[in-house]
Amino acid sequence: MTWEELYLKYSDGVYHYLLLMVGNVEVAEDLTHDTFLRVKQSLKGFRGDASYYTWVISIARNVLYDYWRRKQKIRFLPITESPSLHDMDTPEEIYQRGESVKELYDGIKKLKVSYQEVLVLRMIQELSVKETAEVLNCSESKVKSTTFRAMKALKGVLETERVMNSEEKFS
C-alpha cells in the first residue's frame, strides 16, 4: 500500500483518535500531520506483523506520547486492583440509558490516560483486543483488565456527574 493510500484510508480514524485523546482540534490536526510524516518515513520498514491500521495507530500513539512528553502531561499511576470480568456497561449501553455523547466523551476525558486510550481504541475505534494490545504494546490480558477498570471508572464518573447535575437542578 502506498503512503497516499494509507493517508486516504486512515487519516480520519487517526485524527478522531488523536482528537479524543487531546481534546483540541488544532493539536489533533498537527499530530495527525506528524503521524503521517512518520508513516511516510517508516513505510519501507513495515513488516506486516500487524494490519496497516494497527501499525498507523501505533505510530499515532507514539506521536501523541512525544507531544505529551514535550508538554509534561504524562502521569503513570500504579495498577492495584485485580480484574474480575463481569457485567460492565459498555459506552453504548451507557449512551442508551440516556447519557449524551458529549457527557460520555467528557467522562472519558476525566479518566487517566491509560483508561482513555483503551476505551478510545476498543469502544470507539472498535479495535479487537489483539489489535489494541499491539497498539499499546502490551498483552491481551492487560487490555482486558484495563478495559474492565476503565469501564468501572467511567461508570463512576458518569454517575457522579449525574448526581451533581441533578443537585444543581434542585438548588
Q: What is the pLDDT of residues 94-146, one digit of tens each?
A: 555 555 667 778 888 899 999 999 998 888 888 899 999 999 989 999 999 99
What residue spans of the chain are helical by DSSP H? 3-22, 25-42, 52-71, 91-96, 101-109, 113-119, 129-136, 140-169
Domain boundaries defined on the chain: 3-71, 91-169
Fold topology of 91-169? Arc Repressor Mutant, subunit A (1.10.10)
Fold topology of 3-71? Rna Polymerase Sigma Factor; Chain: A (1.10.1740)
Q: What is the pLDDT of residues 55-76, one digit of tens each?
A: 999 999 999 989 988 876 544 4
